[in-house]
């Protein structure tokens, strides 16, 4: 049996590398950072499923760098990180 490697991505908050399936994928839509739908194209940013990574990303202005322009965080993203991690977030 052939093993398939999981792509790795870097969290924009803590800068740790993890498997893509362990992170929350975010995209910019009309100047707002929102959670990506499965298969959605375009530039994205990844975050660990921890509130402190979201706070670190905001503090470092990581979203503006990742999306190459000014963006605001949609309240729905903050709600994702406020509740305990579960499989529904992926």
> Distance between CA 67 and CA 86 in Å, rounded?
26
pLDDT at 85: 53
User: At the topology level of CATH, where does 8-83 sit?
Assistant: Hypothetical Cytosolic Protein; Chain: A; (3.30.1230)
The pTM score is: 0.84
Contact 11, 23 (CB under 8 A): yes
> Distance between CA 80 and CA 51 in Å, rounded?
9
pLDDT band at 89, cuts 50/70/90?
very low
Task: Report the SS3 class of residue 21.
Answer: helix
Helices (H), 9-68: 51-59, 62-66
| For the chain, domain boundaries | 8-83
pLDDT band at 2, cuts 50/70/90?
confident
């Amino acid at each position: 049996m052939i093993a398939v490697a999981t792509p790795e991505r870097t969290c924009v908050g803590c800068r740790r590398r993890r498997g893509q399936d362990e992170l929350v994928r975010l995209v910019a839509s009309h100047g707002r950072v929102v959670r990506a739908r499965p298969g959605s194209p375009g530039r994205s940013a990844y975050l660990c499923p921890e509130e402190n990574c979201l706070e670190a990303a905001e503090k470092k202005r990581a979203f503006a760098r990742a999306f190459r322009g000014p963006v605001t965080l949609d309240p729905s993203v903050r709600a994702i990180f406020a509740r305990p991690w579960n499989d529904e977030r992926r």
